[in-house]
């Protein structure tokens, strides 16, 4: 019943174990219509930041639009790095290309990478910058992250463990035509508290009419297209089908169109 996997990782993410082709073949075997490749765009990958490290991300236009019958979208999962909701790469200028030619027009790395993506998932991994933040600030942080034009999805807000006010974030997502992620991986090894938060988020999205995106967050091909735990929660809470933007290819592409970022 869920025909898209909108958050998946390949070998590029360094702590993931499959190639893109292995992921796509598995997506086809699972009967998926659409697969998004969303490797990490984050300081967790390399000890230093250099444009050469990111060519794997920004050359993804090389990928076929359809492979093994599956529509591919290329994106990334970008870290939110400050309380203003900026993404990794903010204030890091890209001054030269991968062969050392200087750019005349200098962009920040976040802008440079986001411009090459079909869409971006904004998530929090390293959260030390939120340590002293008030609830109002973390709430604002998530809302501002959605102001980035290419950010379509707020990733695993239940598992990240940053306290924030749920309703304002969900209502902002609805207003900005962005999606809240329901992430299968969050149900795997998370604490009972995190699982409770994920359920509460799903329930509230249903009540407020906020569209969601269900994803595996697979870090190995055998997890692609597996959403059993999220699907069970959605069934238990009688979640409205029409709010699941990732239910099929057409609905996900129209959610992208509503957000103003048709691929």
Q: Give the binding site for Zn ion (CB under 5 A).
A: 123
Closest approach of Zn ion to the CB of residue 35, in Å: 16
Integer-rounded Cα radius of gyration of the chain: 17
> Toward Zn ion, which CB reaches closer, 56 or 68?
56
Report which residue's Cβ sits closest to Zn ion.
Answer: 123
CB nearer to Zn ion: give 197 or 253.
Answer: 197
Between residues 8 and 251, which has the closer beta carbon with respect to Zn ion?
A: 8
Separation of alpha carbons 211 and 246, rounded Å:
9
Give Cα separations from 56 to 2, 63, 150, 159 (angstroms).
28, 11, 18, 27
| Residue 182: CB minimum distance to Zn ion, A | 13
- Of residues 94 and 124, the one with the C-beta less far from Zn ion: 124
Pairing of β 70-79 and β 66-67: antiparallel
Task: List, in sequence order, every beta strand (DSSP E) within 59-198.
Answer: 66-67, 70-79, 93-96, 102-108, 119-123, 151-154, 179-183
- Report in angstroms how near the CB of residue 148 gets to Zn ion at its nearest: 17
Q: Minimum distance between the CB of residue 247 and Zn ion, rounded to whole angstroms?
A: 22
Burial of 175 (0-12, 13-18, 19+ CB in 10 A): exposed
Q: Output 18 or 123, the one with its CB closest to Zn ion.
A: 123
- Least Å distance, CB 13 to Zn ion, is 5
DSSP H stretches of helix in the chain: 20-29, 55-58, 109-116, 135-145, 166-176, 192-208, 228-236, 249-258
């Amino acid at each position: 019943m869920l025909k898209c996997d909108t958050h998946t990782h390949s070998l590029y993410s360094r702590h993931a174990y499959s190639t893109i082709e292995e992921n796509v073949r598995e997506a086809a075997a699972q009967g998926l219509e659409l697969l998004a490749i969303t490797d990490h765009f984050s300081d967790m990958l390399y000890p230093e930041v250099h444009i050469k490290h990111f060519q794997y991300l920004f050359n993804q236009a090389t990928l076929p639009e359809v492979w093994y019958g599956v529509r591919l979208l290329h994106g990334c999962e970008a870290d939110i790095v400050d309380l203003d909701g900026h993404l990794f790469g903010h204030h890091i200028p890209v001054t030269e290309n991968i062969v050392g030619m200087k750019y005349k027009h200098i962009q920040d790395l976040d802008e440079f990478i986001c411009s090459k993506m079909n869409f971006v998932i904004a998530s929090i991994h390293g959260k030390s910058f939120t340590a002293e933040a008030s609830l109002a600030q973390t709430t604002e942080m998530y809302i501002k992250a959605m102001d980035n034009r290419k950010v379509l999805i707020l990733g695993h807000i239940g598992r990240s463990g940053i306290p924030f006010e749920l309703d304002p974030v969900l209502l902002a997502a609805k207003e900005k035509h962005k999606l809240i992620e329901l992430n299968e991986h969050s149900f795997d090894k998370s604490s009972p508290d995190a699982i409770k938060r994920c359920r509460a988020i799903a329930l509230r999205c249903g009540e407020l009419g906020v569209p969601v995106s269900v994803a595996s967050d697979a870090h190995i091909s055998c997890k692609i297209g597996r959403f059993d735990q999220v699907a069970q929660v959605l069934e238990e809470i009688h979640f409205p089908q029409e709010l699941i933007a990732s239910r099929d290819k057409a609905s996900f592409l129209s959610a992208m169109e509503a957000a103003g970022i048709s691929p």
